[in-house]
Every structure is written in structure tokens, then in C-alpha cells.
Structure 1
Amino acid sequence: MRRTMAPKQDVEGAVTAPMMGKIISVMVKKGDHVKAGQIVCILEAMKMENEITTPKAGTVQEVCVFEGSSVSEGETLFVIS
């Protein structure tokens, strides 16, 4: 079962992890154009797959994670501008 998670956004353009977990799939790369609400990665937490989406349309400026990365709640995953 997958849930779609809209991450918190503290830094302008940052897509952050809504909870701690492991990145199991990264769906974008630096330079990709994304739409608001587009799924950018899958975060596994407590045996649940959570779809992480972009809060706005733009271009991926930075990818801070890779498949297999362990992340903490609030950690920056991507930067979108």
C-alpha cells in the first residue's frame, strides 16, 4: 500500500522528508522539469511506501538523496526552483 505525502517545506524550494525512512526509488534527476504534485521519490517507512511529491512546478536544482539513502524527518531530499 502506498500513501502520497506532501512534505513540509522550510527552505524555499526544498522538498523534505515528512518522516524518517529509506529512499527506495528516485524518479527525477538534476535539470528535470517537474509539475506541482509530481511524485519525485518513494520513501519506505514502517513497511509502508510513501510517495513524496513536489509542492510546486519548477526545475530540479539539486538531488540530495539516492536509492538506499536513510533519511531523517525534515531532511532535504530535493531543491526545486
Structure 2
Amino acid sequence: MARIEVKSEMAGTILEVLVGAGDLVTTGQELLIVESMKMEVPVESPADGRVAELAIAASAVIAEGDLLLVIESSG
């Protein structure tokens, strides 16, 4: 099983976490919403799989490159 780390592409604040540990996700599914430069930017799943780990919570301040979550994918 492949472990895919989903990292932040920009600095900002986590507005909403849309998935939890153990949830099944599909490619393109919105995982969370980041506020950056007064814009709401969705973070989408890069693969089908299961959320193995959440590394953040709502209201967390993040930097570019921070780990957000880990997806376990069989593909």
C-alpha cells in the first residue's frame, strides 16, 4: 500500500477539515479548505484511498510544505 503525503502548497489557515482518519476518498475529492490571501482554496485528494492520518485541525496556521494528511492508496 502506498502512503501519499498531502502537503500544503501555500501558507494560510485551515478553515475546514472535510474528512477524518479512516475515511475513504477519491481522486479530486475536496479534503479541506485553506484560507490564503483572503481566498478560500480547496485541497483535493491526489489519489483514491483511505485517510491514514490527519496532521492538522481547523484553525491551524500552516506554512508552504507543511504535512496536512496522509492517504493510503492501493494504486
Q: Normalization by structure 2: what TM-score? A: 0.91
Quote the Cα distance in structure 2 between the aligned partners of 1:40 and 1:49.
13
Query: Secondary structure, in 3 states, of the residue corresponding to 2:50?
Result: strand
Q: Normalization by structure 1: what TM-score? A: 0.84
Matched, 1:79 2:59: no
Name stretches of at least 5 consecutive residues in structure 2 with no aligned partner: none
| Larger RCO of the pair (alpha carbons < 8 Å, separation 6+) | 2
Matched AA of 1:37: G
Matched residue pairs, number? 70
Name stretches of at least 5 consecutive residues in structure 1 with no aligned partner: 1-11
Quote the Cα distance in structure 2 between the aligned partners of 1:54 and 1:75.
16
Quote the Cα distance in structure 2 between the aligned partners of 1:13 and 1:71.
19
For residue 54 of structure 1, the aligned residue among 8, 31, 45 is 45
Alignment of 1:2-81 (within 5 A): 12-81=3-72
Matched AA of 1:44: E
Identity fraction in percent: 37
Quote the Cα distance in structure 2 between the aligned partners of 1:29 and 1:62.
8
Runs of 4 or more off by more than 2 Å in structure 1?
A: none
